Structure 1
Amino acid sequence: MVELMLPLPRSTFQSTEDWWITARRRAPKHLRSDFDTFTILVHWRIWKERNAMIFHSEFSSVDRVFDLIVDDLHSWRVAGCIIAF
């Protein structure tokens, strides 16, 4: 398990991209690729949950989405897509 002190998104960031760039700079260089992959994974899961809401009227709790992100993370690790988290 790796702990990174990263800034949380707040209103001073103009976009998710601004947050991503700022947070990525704080990550150790050897972990930046994993950080990028993890960030994409989280956004992908949020996008999938958004689609489930819009197209299937399925609603998940924050806890459920978090659990799905953890499940995705384990799957991506087994596939060799991410190492550190």
Structure 2
Amino acid sequence: MRQHRHLNRRQPPSWMRCALVSEPVAARLSREHNDANVIALGARLVEVDTAKACVQAFLTTDFARGRHVLRVEKLGAPLALRR
């Protein structure tokens, strides 16, 4: 029997912070507040023009730092230390 890897059961790399967005405001805030570096868009749920606006907002927004740094550091910590 062949073994299959189930990627959704594994912890993602600590450097990966993905945001599921459906509007430009969510894309901007995911970068600004969570320092997201990957964006996910639902092909059946998001119109092409909206998706383009989301990508534009995501790519042109910088991480705000400040009060958000501690949260981002927690996201990169092992699961046992996130509490």
Q: More strand by proportion, 1 or 2? A: 2
- Name the TM-score, length of structure 2 as normaliser: 0.28
